[in-house]
Amino acid sequence: MQFRPWLWAFSILFAWCSLPTVGRAEVPVIPSETPEQRDARMQWWREARFGMFIHWGVYSVAGGTWKGQPVSGIGEWIMNSANIPVEDYASLAAQFNPVRYDPAEWVRIAKDAGMRYIVITSKHHDGFCLFDSKVTDWDVVDASPWGKDLLKPLADECRKQGLHFCTYYSIMDWHHPAQYRGSDQAYNPTRIHPERKREYMEYMKTQLRELLESCDPEVLWFDGEWPDWYTEADGREVYVYLRELKPSLIINNRVGKGRKGMEGLNRSDQEYVGDFGTPEQQIPATGLPGVDWESCMTMNNTWGYKSDDHNWKSAETLIRNVIDTASKGGNYLLNVGPTGEGTIPDASVERLAAIGRWMRVNGESIYGTQASPLPATPWGRCTAKRLPDGTLRLYLHVFQWPENGRLTVEGLSGRPKAAALLADGSAVAVQAEGERILLDLPGKAPDPVASVIRLDVNPNP
């Protein structure tokens, strides 16, 4: 991962239309699908709303230190941050032996937190693969004492426990000889030997096919697309290749170059590479109406394990982030960085358990919901569902419980049908007053972090 300003980082719309007209005919055609077919392909992902990101690799052995000295920056970037030569960095693979790796436990932790899918790094920027790739020895099977594929057992366990399995893949590769360091002091952003670019593109496509064949991910989550040598046309080539291999596959926007803003974009007459946007380390203030998106975020300051990073977000912050993201129509992808031995840090497990306790009571207010239809929610956040009979069901997530016991919901012209607390199902008195709905609440909030009221409103005439 790399922190980038959000208008660039989640650069939603992935278009190739800025390419010169000459040569477009040679660019592969994106498989056609109707809006209904796209909705069916995206359905599980849209309903899931909450997933686990896992950044794991040989950098986890270093844990943020090199030759006994702490290295600044995020843990998985240590090869770049410490400017470690390729041959020296290889020593970490020789120490990568995750004897405490328990895929069933990892999936249990995610499931108990209320997460519906897992996205794990199959290959990060250092090029090291957590699966058995036949086109390189720089993988866990050939270069580490572990000697076995790490992804397939996790994929199998996800399916056994009912979670969706997905993989991350970096386009930038600090190890592959086709790419070379951007400067004497850093790998990022890499450059490429022009005569070897096609070689690398085929290498990448082969590895992606290997992933599909070995562990069958439902999402391919790309990153590392920012070096100048990688183009919109390259992203389109990869996207088309993968969708032809697996038509149901969902692919994020970083498979292409994306855009720095949303100006001038018109979905009716432009084609885009990628299925969802990826804001990083923040939640867009107003969401991204009409666009599928997912906000990825760390629990502390780093993605990969770093032993001295103790700047953990509170469970309250993380729970409210889940709510905030859903209230704006997005998914929340929350990261853990396991150690080199294969354990998820206790601080992460504790916070995930706290989220899980909240989700077990209030999960229906997150899963399968849509963005809030309310113009403002000064008391917290709102998510919504449309029931088969047309009823608008609102979930009012109250962060600040009113001292006078009266909650006012502004901007609704429909008539309220009923309201109840999710915590215990008890009814809440509700009445309409013009375009306001007034609810009389108990004196004490059921949950100090976020109490949820389910409010059903008759459809407008």
Q: What is the pLDDT of residue 3?
A: 41
Mean of the pLDDT values across residues 33-38? 96
pTM confidence score: 0.93
Q: Which CATH class is domain 380-457?
A: mainly beta
Over the stretch 233-264, which tens digit does the pLDDT of each residue have?
A: 999 999 999 999 999 999 999 999 865 333 32
Residue 27 CA to residue 16 CA, distance in Å, equals 10
152 or 460, which is more confident?
A: 152
Long-range contacts of 234-238 (CB under 8 A, 24+ apart): 234/201, 235/14, 235/16, 235/273, 235/274, 236/16, 236/27, 236/28, 236/30, 236/273, 237/27, 237/28, 237/201, 238/201, 238/204, 238/205, 238/208
Q: What is the pLDDT of residues 98-114, one digit of tens each?
A: 999 999 999 999 999 99
Query: Exposed, middle or buried, 427 (CB in 10 Å: 0-12/13-18/19+)?
Result: exposed
CATH says 6-365 is which class? alpha beta
Q: Which residue has the higher pLDDT, 291 or 268?
A: 291
**What are the boundaries of each domain within the chain?**
6-365, 380-457
Tens digit of each residue's pLDDT (9 = 90 or more) over 155-178: 999 999 999 999 999 999 999 999
pLDDT value, residue 26: 67
- pLDDT tops 50 at residue 84: yes
CA 109 to chain centre: 17
Q: Do domains 6-365 and 380-457 have the same CATH topology?
A: no
What pLDDT is stored for residue 284 in this prediction?
A: 95
